[in-house]
A = this chain, B = another copy of it.
Amino acid sequence: MRYSQDQWQTTHDRILDEAARRFRADGIDNTSLLPLMKSLGLTHGGFYAHFRSKQDLVEAALQRAGEQMDLATSEVLAAEVPVNDTRLKDFIYRYLSRAHRDNPGAGCVLPTMSTELGQRRTPSETTDRIVMDRLTRIEQELSDSRADENSILMLCALVGALQLSRCIQDPELSDKVLKLTRRRLTALACEQT
């Protein structure tokens, strides 16, 4: 059956969004096309009317998830987050919230996909752009003379903390990692005037 151009774009976006979610929640290799398409009410054969290969989808989903990140940490995950005086402190709070930890599918790509991307033979340049984007955004908030050092330290600590909090079994230790990293990073963000 043939559909209108709008229909194609809608289906295309649905595949892309669901893939971006699953890649982050379950990992790239653990996400198979058949269950993915089935969950959207489609058959797996139709996939190739939208993407040339799974690798093609990975690249597109990575880009999409990279763009969506602000949305993910502000709208979707805003519920439990208290209001802060600065935008950077706000960002730290959101990033290291339990809501973000427990919803990897809607969150930042770096803690979920960067390991797998680094292990691939043909890694993506998109990763570089996402990292650069995050760094410059953080750096803009830091008026410090050591803004370059501090923005990198901050991004590394954010990514590492979220990832560790997700693989830790003990809920108390997991919360503690989030909480103390949050506290220490906000303190670091305040030191600069």
Q: A181-B152, A181-B153 given as contacts; is B169 within 8 A of A127 (CB)?
A: yes
User: Which of B123, B155, B185 contacts A164 (CB under 8 A)?
Assistant: B155
Assembly CA distance A180 to B27 (angstroms): 29
Q: Which of A35-43, A44-52, A53-61, A112-120 contacts B (4 or more CB under 8 A)?
A: A112-120
Min Cβ gap A152→B in Å is 5
Judge whether B184 and A150 touch: CB under 8 Å.
yes
Q: Tell me if A's interface is mostly helix, strand, loop or mixed.
A: helix
User: Which of B125, B163, B166, B173 contacts A169 (CB under 8 A)?
Assistant: B125
Assembly CA distance A173 to B168 (angstroms): 30
Judge whether B118 and A115 touch: CB under 8 Å.
no
Judge whether A115 and B169 touch: CB under 8 Å.
no
9 A-B contacts (beta carbon < 8 Å): A115-B115, A118-B163, A123-B167, A124-B169, A152-B176, A152-B177, A153-B181, A155-B164, A156-B158
Q: Which residues of A does B touch, CB under 8 Å?
A: 25-27, 29-30, 104, 110-112, 114-119, 123-125, 127-128, 131-132, 146, 148-150, 152-153, 155-161, 163-164, 166-170, 173, 176-177, 180-181, 183-185
